[in-house]
Amino acid sequence: MGSTHIGGIELMTTPFQTDIGSGTLSFEYGKLAQKANGSVLVRHHDNVLLVTATSSSPREGIDFFPLTVDVEERLYARGKIPGSFHKREGRPSTPSILIARLTDRPIRPLFPKDFKNEVQLIITPLSIDTVNPYDITAVTSASAALTVSDIPFEGPIAATRIGYLDGEFVVNPTYEEINRSTLDLVVAGSRSGVIMMEAGASEVSEDVVQQAIEYAQEMNLYGIELQEELAEAHGKPPMVYVPRGYNAELTEKVIEEVAGSFNEALGLPSDESDEKVSEIETGINEKYSEDYQSQEIETALDEAMEAAFKQRVLENSERPDGRSLDEIRPISSEVSLLPRTHGTGLFTRGETQVLGICTLGSVGDVQKLDNLTPEETKRFMLHYNFPPFSTGEARPIRSTGRREIGHGALAERALFSVIPSEEQFPYTIRVVGECLSSNGSTSMGTVCASTLALMDAGVPIKAPVAGISIGLVTGEGGRYVTLTDIQGKEDHLGDMDFKVAGTTEGITAIQLDIKVKSIGYDVIYDALRQAKEARAVILENIHETIPSYRTELSQYAPRMESIQIAVDKIGTVIGPGGKTIRGIVEETGATVDIQDDGTIIIGSSEGSASDKAIQMIRDLTR
């Protein structure tokens, strides 16, 4: 036990620790950031994080919980100076945004419905070893900061990563182990069950994933118990807050009054249903506007609609659009839509439509990274765009948002394991998913459209990948049903969005988010089974559109060729200050990338340019 003196006051800083996997997780309270509602200094291996939780006054007139999670990466944490002109960290990196989202998703469902105070979690990595990922530590420590604070939070939760190496599960694997693993699964959960999951995999079976989930949840208990000990010693009494946006008495009245009418409206055709719902909502607003806040009325109407929706699904197995519980909306796919792009694929599922475009580049086109991960370059990139017209809206187009970054990362993870190696296919690959119409699971639509685009571009992927989203409707007494291919209304009114992508052989990615406090293994296993069945249907549609990847690249794609030279000749090709290699590039118009082992990759849009560059290099190295 140590102590810190602030303003003459002695603050005790007691470390709480437990062993999880090969490392020790340690929480220290009271040493740093005493002005925050809750703060912890967290250590796992040589990763050290400062995590703070603060809360301010409620925001008026909002229909959501104003939670913000920020990951403030500092390159000093790994002993680096930023490479920018100003030598300061700039906008958040993609990894930091993804860690912020990973942290946000499992804690968001665990706040009271009527709590609308601003809550901000800031995760600041102070020391990073670049051997062990710090993302799961961030999730667990965010829960710890909330648990010791006075902010109302129904935790604690913890997160664990599970790898699968040589037929064995590995708890919290290193970066190197993750690269060799066929499964990279993160599970966040509480004592009552699973709350969030995220995974990338190399065509792993449902059975392996199920075992990994259960193992991860067992490991989560260690982090949960540690937080309970921390809270018992240092936890603050819950704050007294003014309820906002939710009134239980009003909600009960409105459900009793209009749930039946909403039920009838849900059975009408779409346009008639919307008109009927609007009439009902207008009547309720007029009746209660003098006695209740507008946001309380709106929330009560949402709860009533949710109750009607759940009753139809649970009692009658009826969905808003008339489909059966495991039925996919009509799907179609096309390729080769655009003349000058290297590969295109259009995938449509109901009112969800995504255009995928694949572009091939030279090895020199890789993305160069400057963040807290050990990865320095990235050869395969998938970017997701969500313009306002995809939902029929008119709004300003801003810079890429967190949601778009997250959806792109999920689709990229789903396809990563089927992308050929650089030795097999010496190209940099960029795929862009343009969401053209949105009504449920555009991220999984992006996976399908991207598969089509890659195959159309002639990328020799190991197997086509498809994705689907499974929803959940829960009732009293543990009753539930799972829904295949949820649309927007079902996503809004239901309790789960469980995205699963994979090939005919197995799973390549999953992402689970829920609105209830937790779910059990039975729900997860039912969802995985339904996703597998739906995936087979979509993959068959893709196969009918394009049975295999094209054997010839687009005439507009660069041609890449490789030659081998002796390592001691590399300097000759480069020349003093790079003069020789620059001369080759300028004279031929080809790109020339030299690797440490003497491999030289030459690329150009015209074969004659590559031939000339190759000949010049061979003349130099004879």
Give the phi and the psi of residue 417 in degrees, each rounded to 5: -75, -15
Q: Which fold does the domain 559-621 belong to in CATH? A: Ribosomal Protein S8; Chain: A, domain 1 (3.30.1370)
Homologous superfamily (CATH) of 331-545 is GHMP Kinase, N-terminal domain (3.30.230.70)
* Six token digits for residue 241: 């807050």
More confident residue, 294 or 197: 197
Q: What's the whole-number mean pLDDT along residues 277-289?
A: 91
Q: Is 40 exposed, middle or buried (0-12, 13-18, 19+ CB in 10 A)?
A: buried
**Dihedrals phi, psi of 181, to nearest 5 degrees:** -80, 150
For 348-385, write each residue's pLDDT tens digit.
999 999 999 999 998 888 998 888 888 889 999 999 99
Residue 402 reports pLDDT greater than 90: yes
Extents of the domains making up the chain: 2-234, 248-316, 331-545, 559-621
Pick the CATH number of 2-234 from 3.30.230.70, 1.10.287.110, 1.10.3720.10, 3.30.70.360: 3.30.230.70
Question: Helix (H, G, I), strand (E, B), or coil: what is residue 471?
Answer: strand
**Helical ranges in 559-606 per DSSP H:** 570-574, 579-588
Would you state the pLDDT for residue 14? 67
pLDDT digits (tens, 9 = 90+) for 414-440: 999 999 998 899 999 999 999 999 998
Query: What tens digit of pLDDT does each residue of 243-276 get?
Result: 888 888 999 999 999 988 998 888 887 778 888 9
Percent of the chain with pLDDT over 90: 73
Contacts (Cβ under 8 Å, ≥6 apart) of 402: 97, 100, 101
Angle between helices 248-266 and 294-316 (to 10 degrees): 50
- Tallying the residues shown for the chain, one arrives at 622
596-617 residue pLDDT tens: 888 888 988 776 888 899 999 9
Rounded Cα–Cα distance for residues 456 and 336 (Å): 7
Q: What Rg do the C-alpha atoms of the chain give, in angstroms?
A: 27
Amino acid type, 445: G
Amino acid identity, residue 380? F
Judged by average pLDDT, the poorest of 303-307, 405-409, 538-542 is 303-307
The runs of H, that is alpha helices, within 380-441 are: 402-416
Out of 211-215, 322-326, 488-492, the most confident range is 211-215
pTM metric for this prediction: 0.92
Pull the structure tokens for residue 556. Answer: 């507009």
Q: Give CA–CA dist 118/598, Å, rounded.
A: 56
- Kindly report the number of other CB atoms within 10 A of residue 87's CB atom: 9
Alpha-carbon span 180 to 21, nearest angstrom: 18
Between the CA of residue 449 and those of 281, 352, 361, 441, 618, what are the distances in Å? 38, 11, 20, 13, 42
pLDDT of residue 478 exceeding 60: yes
CATH topology agreement for domains 331-545 and 559-621: no
pLDDT tens figures, 84-110 = 888 998 899 999 999 999 999 999 999
